[in-house]
């Protein structure tokens, strides 16, 4: 069951911005930045855990830490909502067909629960070659896609003009060493009606803090 609360658009703290970018100028905001993941890579190696799943957990925790990243829009009733929790849609790549399959993973704040669930979901998805995207039954899932073949500098995800799609879309690529640091490109796309440059940039800041806290456990 998907739980959410309806946000009163008259008292919403971004009321004016929301009205402008949901009526006058419908658009999104995207940003790419490189974050230092040297400590997370070292931690993952030391613990014998998968860097990818650890990062997915920290990303999910970051996006669930603030209501601005959990917003939704019910076009049927023209209601702005905030979900109690959002979950990652990760992807598994099939080498034989060079295609990918979406993997719906439920977020759990408990790291061990999330880690086991994410791995199990990936193994299950490896057995299919279907795209299987089911957004209608997964409204509070955000897109979390890893691009392991390239350490890119920028990436843009384009949606149709006027489409009020509020779940975050996050991509990240291969990390590379620079001056003794491991820098990984991360791209975040949010709808401008519910987020501005500060809120997009804040994802990177919060994510870096979550990484620092995680490796000190």
Domain enclosing residue 80, as ranges:
4-215
CA pair distance 33, 10, nearest whole angstrom? 34
Asked if 21 and 15 count as a contact pair (C-beta separation under 8 A), the reply is: no
Exposed e or buried b for every residue in 122-160, given b needs 16+ CB within 10 A?
Answer: beebeeeeeeeeeeeeebbbbbbbbbeeebeeebeeeee
* Predicted confidence (pLDDT) per residue in 42-58, tens digit: 999 999 999 999 999 99
CATH code assigned at 146: 3.30.559.10
Confidence of residue 1 (pLDDT cuts 50, 70, 90): low
CA pair distance 171, 174, nearest whole angstrom? 11
When the pLDDT of each residue in the chain is averaged and rounded to a whole number, the result is 95
Confidence of residue 161 (pLDDT cuts 50, 70, 90): low
Q: In this predicted structure, what is the pLDDT of residue 33?
A: 97
Based on the structure, what is the number of domains in the chain?
A: 1
Confidence of residue 135 (pLDDT cuts 50, 70, 90): confident
């Amino acid at each position: 069951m998907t739980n959410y609360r309806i946000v009163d658009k008259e008292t919403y703290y971004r009321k004016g911005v929301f009205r402008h970018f949901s009526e006058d100028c419908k658009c999104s905001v995207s940003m790419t930045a490189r974050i230092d993941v040297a400590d997370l890579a070292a931690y993952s190696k030391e613990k014998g855990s998968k860097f990818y799943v650890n990062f997915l957990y920290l990303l999910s925790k970051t996006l669930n830490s603030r209501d601005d990243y959990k917003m939704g829009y019910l076009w049927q009733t023209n209601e702005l909502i905030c979900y109690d929790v959002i979950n990652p849609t990760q992807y598994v790549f099939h080498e034989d067909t060079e295609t990918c399959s979406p993997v719906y993973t439920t977020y759990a704040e408990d790291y061990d629960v999330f880690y086991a669930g994410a791995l199990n979901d990936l193994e299950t998805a490896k057995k299919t070659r279907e795209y299987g995207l089911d957004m209608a039954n997964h409204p509070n899932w955000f897109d979390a896609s890893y691009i392991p073949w390239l350490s890119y500098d920028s990436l843009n995800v384009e949606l149709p003009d006027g489409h009020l799609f509020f779940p975050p879309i996050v991509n990240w690529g291969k990390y590379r060493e620079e001056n003794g640091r491991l820098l990984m490109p991360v791209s975040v796309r949010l709808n401008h009606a519910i987020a501005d440059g500060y809120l997009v940039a804040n994802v990177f800041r919060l994510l870096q803090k979550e990484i620092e806290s995680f490796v000190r456990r």
